[in-house]
Structure formats: structure tokens, C-alpha cells
Chain A
């Protein structure tokens, strides 16, 4: 018999060790999965984790790493605040799309006027788009007590359809020869979120992600607001006793998460992606959930987890290309990471005892 015994105090060691153990377990289980698919497991793991950093074409891939990690970290930093409070925003993907749509709409309306004010205005509108989209589940929860999990998730699909409509309709490039998708903002200097240092992949979104990490760290671990947010997640009644107003907390957490996701969408559409198309979103909003948990909902952890997840994205693409692994296998691999993380997480609060029942 295996019994779980609750620890009196959460284990410090396991709090830090679980992400590492989970990554190792994912590599092992993933290796088995790839072996079953007829690929050499060690090679597959090497292609995913090693080659993008130190392989033949690493110079290009290292830049891509920050391009991918930026939105993941930015979104996850916002989500983690809500998760800490027990408010489950699963719809960051939709908020990400809305941020992109709002900011791209402004840029496409202004085209081709050049102005220094355009880019900052796009940033504001991107944040606003994500925030407003997140306000729908927030207000429904506050007023009618609906589940923010379901509403925010379902709104992702609404946002996706809106995105498709926009890219085939109102925002379609009038000079696009009938191809779907908007004008490319990379060709519009005032709106272009260009690489700041050549070859590094660093654009304003990556800088914003770093600022977000520092800001959320200060908020959550130094400021009384963050303390109250953490109390609300740990013990809702104690939070009310400490003067937290639940409705305000829901609005704050969903609003902040939405704004961050919207910002990520804005930087993406104006930079690496460049245009609104029906396939603009690639799942950053969902992967950010894994990043948030893999990073222990801690800003610094999220920074590291975001880089790791970005690596599996790039490495996964490479594995598809080089080894012909199906993309579904890569998604399973990424999913396993969250699965193992949550499984090993038990060890933070419990320790395992082997032996007879009740002994």
C-alpha cells in the first residue's frame, strides 16, 4: 500500500525540484512515445532540447527562442496573478486575438500615415482589447455568478471566428490579390514592431515581457495588494476577513490577465506575424497556462518556464522537419509536461509512505 501523508509545512525542496523532475520525466515518457512512433528516442530529445540552442543552425534558432518566449512569458505573468487568487482565466488565447485585432484595426485605419504616436496608441489599444474581452467573463461572474473558466474558454472560439471574419472581410488587404489576410504591418514603419538588436529576436514585446515579470514580482511579493491576492487563493474566507472584496478581485485579475494577453497579441501582430490572418493565433494563450504552472506561478519561474516552452516549440518544429514526427506528438509532449508537473506537485504538500495500510 502507498499512502500519502500531509506535510505540516510545504516542502521548500520539492517546490523547486518538481519542475526539474517533471522535465526529466517528460523527457523519459516522451522518449518512449517517440520510440513507439519508430523514432530514435535519444535523438528526438536531442533535436528538441539541444539542437535549437547548440546545433548547426543555432544562430537563427536562438533568436526565435525569444520571439516565442516573449508572448508566452507576458501572457503567463498575467494569468499567474489570477491563478494565485483562484480565478481561472482559460481564455487568454481569445484576449490575445482581441488585442491583436484592436491594435491592427487602428494601424490599418491610419495606413499609410506615418506618426510617432501610432505605435504607443496601438499598445494602448492592444491592452484595451484584451482587457475588454476579459471583462465579459469577469462581469458575468460578478453579476450572475457564472464560471469564468467556461465563459473565458468559449470566448476563445468567438474570438477565433471574429478573427477569421476580419481577415476575410473588413481588414482584408485591398491590394492582396484576393488572398485572405490584412496588409503586412512589417511594411508600415510607424506600426512595425521591429527587432531591436539584429539577430537576437528581441522586440518591444520581449522587453515588455521582462518588465511584466519584474512588475508582477513586485506586485505579488512586495506589495500588500499581491499579498491579498495570494490570501484570496489560499483561503477565500480569510481574504474577506482581511478586507478583500471578491468582485473587485475578479475584475482586477481577469482585467490584468486580459490586458497582458492583449499586449502580447499586439506585439505579435505588429512584429513577428505582421498581419491579421485566420491562422494568426498559434496557441500561445493556452500554452501560457502550462508556462504559468511550470513556473510555479512565480514571475521568475515563469521567465524560465517560458524559455523552456519556447524551446519545445522550436525543437518540436525541428523534430517535425528533421525526423518527421507528427505535430500531434509534439503537442502530447508539451501536455505531458503539465501533467507530470501537477503529478509531482503532490510531493510538495505530501510525502509518500510505503507499507501496509494504517501501519
Chain B
């Protein structure tokens, strides 16, 4: 019995799509095994079957030598499988210990549980105060609550879904330290990610999925990141073409820009200031929840600010709403595609009208010109290679990547003077992400100014001329990206957010 988890021929079909097609792989005890694949490759469905959230149509699983077919997550936990989800399921208004207790079958009395939490967090270098409110914790600390909750069950297999997407580089180091320690004690880890350098640093084995099928397995340490990416995509990757650009005048300027928190545990923007030149791409990095949404809302005009704080081409636009700013050439694409950047139940034509009326002749005397709107929607679809049966389709019927291309395309084709995008390639497959990045670079090459807010530091390094970090609502002074090291960026992002390893 050298295998802890052995999967053979696992198949799961949803109407119209086969999510997993005869998937097989195995994980040894103590192995850190990567599941690699683009969005929609079937990684999530696969781990959901292992964790008992989804029932396979066909195929078998063995766990620790015995047949394994969990009917629900509880059965999976009993067998020794634990999972840390990408999106945390924590109650902000409860403290750490209470949150941990909520996820347990038979929680011990609070005092005993708090002791246990301290014990485990110390043993694995994950300092955590059981009495603190989760709402006051950083994303990295919240993830620790989830990990500690799993470790309390003493799992044999720990599944982690994109765990580093919310962490600073320093926090990633601490997490990897913990994972390596767990692995050395015999806990196997199934690690889902599309960050290839991380996988090369951490994992000993990798299974690569594409279109629901296993297309290869390898030892990621023996491959380059580029080779891994090409296995994942199944084609050669295009390198984004970054033309030489020269900066023009200052077009957008923020000084002393502050904003109270938009939600109870949300951050406030504190004295944000920057200057953005024509032709410049300013990358704003930072862990989600540090003011990105707030920054986009106040720059786009959704949350106007005090007069004198935001100027566009010399004019004070601080108190203008989104449409006033659009008319002057400032456009934006928020992070949340469904429900913010686009209306899920409305057609692509209607979604073109959503932001397009100020700069495109889509209305006559306030009346919607349906034909013009359809032409604009079709133009976006053609120019940005949006895969859809037509412009009459509801936005929610599109895949994440296609809808994102549509949303970015809608703004780019309106010829903005300034475009602000938040997480432009979040949850988007590699090919679509490359197309979006290229579109932003092309826009800047034509003389527009672009602000790209992103958690993906590699992305910002690729497209941004200057880099600034947003941490707890404060924006660092922008620095040229060329010559910036990952450590320097990490420190700009607030280092490990004041967390230290307990056992250094």
C-alpha cells in the first residue's frame, strides 16, 4: 500500500459538458501533489468529488487501501480528507475559536478548543489568537483559521484550492513552511493552482488536466514554468508584445483621496495620491480586501470624493458621477463581472448600453437606438473574439473569460483617455488573459493611460510601467517596475502583515 489516494476512471458530466472524463491519478502519503489546469479544465469538479460534494457518474476511488465513495463532506472528513476552499466560509462577527467550532462535528468546550488552537498554530508556525474577531483579520490570517480548522481533524489528505491567491509573497513563504512540515509528518497535500513557479517550488508530483482529461503528469521540479504552461494550455504561449512607450502629460491625478469604509469590515482609503500620465500603465498590487474595490469605486465615480481630490486633465472631477466621468473620457471595469460590470440576466446588447451611452451614439433624445446598440455589441464581440452564439445571449450564459473580454472590450472600444480595471484577468483562462493584457498594452500604446489593479504580481510585472502597492487602504509611492524584485514588492505590500512565524 504505497498510495494514499488512488483514483481511476473518474467521470462526471453536466448537461452539455463533460467536466471530468476518465480521470485517474494517485497520491502517496506525505506527497505534495499539484493539480494543474486552466479554468474550466475540471480541477474543481475533481476535488469536489474527492471531498464528497459531487457524486461521480463513473469510476472508483481508493483511500488508504479501502474503497472510498464519500456521500457528503462529513464522510470525507471522517475518512481523513480535509479541504481549504479558495473562498473562506467564515463569520466575520464571530471570533476565531467560535468559527473553528462551527466547522467541527463535536466541538470540545471553548476553553479546551482555544488551547488546542494555540497548540496547533504554534506547532505549525501559524500564529493565531483564538479570541480575535475574524472580521479584524487579514486574508492570510483568515486562511490560517481554515487551515487550523482542518488540522484539528488530523487529516491524512489536505486539499488546498488556490491558497496563495490572497497572500503576499512573505505570507506564501510562511504557508509553504507549514505545508512542508505537514508533508514531512506524512500528511499528503493536494495543491490546486495555476501559479507555476509556486508549484515548482513546492510540489513533488503534478497531474495536468485539460478539458476534463488528464493530459500528462510530471515532476514539476524537472520542468520549466513555460513547459508546464504549454502542457496546461496545449499550445505554444504567445508572449505579450510590449511596445516602447513614451509618457505624455499627467491626465489623472489624485491628492489626499480618502474614503470611509464601504462595509463594516471593509478598509478605508487613506490619503491616496498618484499621478498618471498619458501612455502609462500603472499597476496597483495588493492582497484583495485592502481597498481595491474602494479605489475603483471612487475613481470611477460610483463613490464621489471631496472636491479637489481627483482631477482629470486639469479639471476637478471629484464630485462627478460615473456618467459625468465617462463623458470626459474616464472609463472603468470593476472586478465583479456578474452584477457589477455586467447585468447577468440581460443580453450582451443591453450590457453594451449599460456603460456605452455616454461615448457612443446609442441613444437619440434619451431613446435607446437598438440597432446601434446591437452594432456596438457585435463590434465588441468581433474585436475581442468573444465566444458566444450572438449578441442576444444573456451575460450570465458566457464563461468567465469570455464575459471579461466583453467587459474590457466594451470600455476599450469607447476610446478612453483613462481606463481603470480591477482584477482584469481574475478567473480567466490563459489565452483570454493574454488577449486582455495585450488589449491594455495596445490601448496605452495609443496614448491612453491605464490603471490595472491586480493581485497577480506576475501580470503587473508584465504590463505595468510603474508599480504601487495598496495595503490597508494606503497607496505606496509608485516605482518603476523595471528592476523591482519580488522581495521589494512583498515589502511594499506590507510584508507578512505583521505576522511572524512562531517557530523560526
Give the B-binding residues of A (Cβ under 8 A). 5, 8-10, 222-225, 227, 230-231, 234-235, 237-238, 240-243, 245, 357-359
Contact = CB atoms under 8 A, between A and B. Distances in A.
A223 B367 contact: yes
Interface of B: 15, 54-55, 57, 300-302, 321-324, 326, 332, 334, 336, 338-346, 350, 353-355, 357, 363, 366-368, 393-394, 396-397
Contacts of A243: 301, 321-324, 326
Contacts, number: 76
Contact of B353 (A5, A227, A237, A357): A227
A224 B302 contact: no
A241 B54 CA distance: 36
Given A235-B340, A357-B55, 11 more contacts: A224-B357, A231-B346, A234-B343, A234-B344, A235-B344, A238-B340, A241-B340, A241-B341, A242-B355, A243-B321, A243-B323
Contacts of B363: 224
B366 A224 contact: yes
20 contacts: A8-B394, A8-B397, A9-B393, A9-B394, A10-B345, A223-B368, A227-B350, A231-B343, A231-B346, A234-B344, A235-B343, A238-B339, A238-B340, A240-B322, A241-B340, A241-B341, A241-B354, A242-B355, A243-B323, A358-B55
A356 to B, nearest CB: 9
B373 to A, nearest CB: 10
Given A231-B346, A245-B321, A238 B341 contact: yes
A225 to B, nearest CB: 7
A238 B353 CA distance: 12
Contact of A223 (B300, B302, B343, B366): B366
B259 to A, nearest CB: 15
A22 B269 CA distance: 51
A242 B342 CA distance: 10
A9 B322 contact: no
B302 A240 contact: yes
A316 B385 CA distance: 58
Contacts of B302: 240-241
Nearest to B296: A241
Nearest to A6: B396
A231 B368 contact: no
A358 B56 CA distance: 8
A-B CB proximity, top 3 nearest: A243-B323, A358-B55, A8-B397
A223 B350 CA distance: 12
Contacts of B55: 357-359
B206 to A, nearest CB: 29
A5 B15 CA distance: 9
Contacts of B366: 223-225
A85 B491 CA distance: 46
A222 B345 contact: no
Contacts of B357: 224
B50 to A, nearest CB: 14
A224 B340 contact: no
Contact of B397 (A9, A224, A245, A357): A9
Contacts of B323: 242-243
B397 A235 contact: no
B385 to A, nearest CB: 20
Contacts of B339: 235, 237-238
A229 B321 CA distance: 17
Nearest to B346: A234
Nearest to B363: A224
B368 A241 contact: no
A227 B397 CA distance: 20
A231 B367 contact: no
A241 B355 contact: yes
A230 B345 CA distance: 11
B334 A241 contact: yes
Contacts of A231: 343, 346, 354
Contacts of B354: 231, 238, 241-242
B322 A227 contact: no
Nearest to A358: B55
A227 to B, nearest CB: 6
A238 B396 CA distance: 14
Given A234-B346, A243-B322, A224 B394 contact: no
B367 A224 contact: yes
B368 A222 contact: yes
A242 to B, nearest CB: 5
Contacts of A227: 350, 353, 368
Contacts of B350: 227
B394 A238 contact: no
Given A223-B368, A243-B321, A237 B397 contact: no
Contacts of A238: 339-343, 354
A74 to B, nearest CB: 24
Nearest to A356: B55
A200 to B, nearest CB: 34
Given A9-B393, A225-B366, A242 B346 contact: no
A224 B353 contact: yes
A224 B370 CA distance: 11
A235 B338 CA distance: 9
A355 to B, nearest CB: 12
B216 to A, nearest CB: 29
B322 A241 contact: yes
Contacts of B57: 359
Contacts of B341: 238, 241
A222 B334 contact: no
Nearest to B347: A9
Contacts of A9: 393-394, 396-397
